[in-house]
Amino acid sequence: MTSNDIFSQISARQGPGFGAGLCAFSQLLARLNNPQNSFQIIHVAGTNGKGSVCTLLAHALTCAGNRTGLFVSPHLVSPTERITVNGNEISPNDFALCVRRVLAVEQEPLNFFEILTAAAFIYFAETKCKYAVLETGLGGRKDPTNVCLPRASVITSVGLDHIQILGDSVEKIAAEKAGICKPGVPLFCGPVSPQAREIIKQAAAAQKSPVYFVREGEPFSPAGVDVSCGNFLIKKEKNVYPLHLMGQFQTVNACLVWQVLRFLQVSEDAILTAFVTVQLPGRFEVIKKGEKTFILDGAHNPQAVAALVNFWQQTPYAKNAALVCGFMKDKDYQKMLELLVPHFQQIIVTQPPSARAAGRAELSRFLTRTGITFEPDLQAALCLAGELSHTVLCTGSFYLVGAARQQLLR
């Protein structure tokens, strides 16, 4: 049985009836001898930016000579991407073994993310990681990763996403994110609205946790784009450094990562080495196919799409490009399309490979517009876009971006 087979089985454990909750999940970890206590943890929540921040943190800790685990979601192609040590994915065999060890001590019905979280803890403990960077799956307060006692906590951003679960206001969502605050543990937070800032300050004060709000300019400012190398340039005082992650918003991510790592006493050299050597597929990733250029960027909520569009207009790719996009029906796909449509003359809307994908029925009001084509088959959508333009942006759901990446790299 492959890792994908096992992941498919546990992925069915979603919805009502699944989920042990933090108390029962903690008891399960105790039956596993609390593997999460074997390493130091950096715990990361946020609406956007979690993937970039987590990957940069883990890569810098590795560059500094530390054996470092990384637990993120979602994956693009294989579930083994979610659990890595020093940048190397867990093997399919080890993935299966760790999941089976979790299921062997299951008493309450676990959901799939609880199973994955426990499996990651087992793997990081057994591979003797010094650090592990954990990305929350949803929110923070009730997330399975919140059983940990971290060395540092991080909130990258707060915006309206998953409102059916986390709440329909910035204040409610901020309270869920701030639920990762632990007694006395420093909390580092990226730019947030005044309302979210107040909620986070109150949560930190209740836990007697020092809180640091990090802004652009502390210590990096944007300095331009080097498309030829795939670098975004950032400036610290009079020096310019390449960051191998494209996007204006990556400046703030770099500032946040810098502050956390300096707190952990990671050297400047290790941090800057990590910036220029980091790899993060599916985040403004450029793939060449003959004379065609495909840019893949997972932007799965309106805030992420707005940031993408803003940066897209600053790049040479924006001229006469075609768009392939697809979304989940439980996301604000109407707002995302409204943000994207004005910037492309040729638009192909497709369906991500998921039962939750928004299809023709959900997207009908947009499909009557001139220049928008609905092609549910992703391979056909990519081929059509390539016929329309030498440059294609593929964005929306990470499920879509992952499937597109798999096809383009064949």
pLDDT band with cut points at 50, 70 and 90 for residue 164:
low
Task: Using a pLDDT cut of 70, give the percent of the chain over it.
Answer: 96
**Segment 16-38 mean pLDDT:** 92
Question: Of the candidates 408, 383, 387, which has an alpha carbon nearest to the alpha carbon of residue 296?
Answer: 408
For position 167, what pLDDT does the model report?
Answer: 60
pLDDT band with cut points at 50, 70 and 90 for residue 1:
low
pLDDT band with cut points at 50, 70 and 90 for residue 160:
low
| Residue 390 predicted with pLDDT over 70 | yes
Cα angle 100, 103, 104 (rounded to 5 degrees) comes to 85
For position 364, what pLDDT does the model report?
Answer: 86
- List beta partners, residue 391: 293
83-97, 153-167, 353-367, 396-410: lowest mean pLDDT where? 153-167
For position 331, what pLDDT does the model report?
Answer: 87
For position 166, what pLDDT does the model report?
Answer: 63
| Residue 251 predicted with pLDDT over 70 | yes
**Segment 154-159 mean pLDDT:** 92
For position 20, what pLDDT does the model report?
Answer: 82
| Residue 161 predicted with pLDDT over 80 | no
**Segment 178-204 mean pLDDT:** 95
For position 330, what pLDDT does the model report?
Answer: 85
Sorted by where each starts, the structural domains of the chain and their CATH numbers stand as 3-277 (3.40.1190.10), 285-408 (3.90.190.20)
H/E stretch holding 400 reads helix 398-408
Question: Of the candidates 15, 119, 22, which has an alpha carbon nearest to the alpha carbon of residue 356?
Answer: 15
H/E stretch holding 374 reads strand 372-374
Sequence-ordered list of residues with C-beta below 8 angstroms from that of 67, at least 6 positions apart, any chain: 85, 86, 127, 128, 129, 130, 131
| Residue 137 predicted with pLDDT over 70 | yes
pLDDT digits (tens, 9 = 90+) for 221-245: 999 988 888 899 999 999 999 999 9
| Residue 371 predicted with pLDDT over 80 | no
| Residue 163 predicted with pLDDT over 70 | no
For position 53, what pLDDT does the model report?
Answer: 97
pLDDT digits (tens, 9 = 90+) for 300-349: 889 899 999 999 998 999 988 999 999 998 888 999 999 999 999 899 99
For position 55, what pLDDT does the model report?
Answer: 98
Distance CA 148, CA 377 (A): 42
Question: If you count DSSP H runs as helices and E runs as strands, how many of each does the chain have, helices first?
Answer: 15, 17
Q: Please give the backbone phi and psi of residue 325, each rounded to the nearest 5 degrees, phi first.
A: -145, 155
The chain-wide mean pLDDT, for the chain, equals 92
For position 367, what pLDDT does the model report?
Answer: 83
| Residue 177 predicted with pLDDT over 90 | yes
Distance CA 393, CA 282 (A): 11
For position 139, what pLDDT does the model report?
Answer: 82
pLDDT band with cut points at 50, 70 and 90 for residue 174:
very high
For position 180, what pLDDT does the model report?
Answer: 97
Question: Residue 268 in contact with residue 64, Cβ under 8 Å?
Answer: no
| Residue 127 predicted with pLDDT over 90 | yes
**DSSP 8-class letter at 20:** -
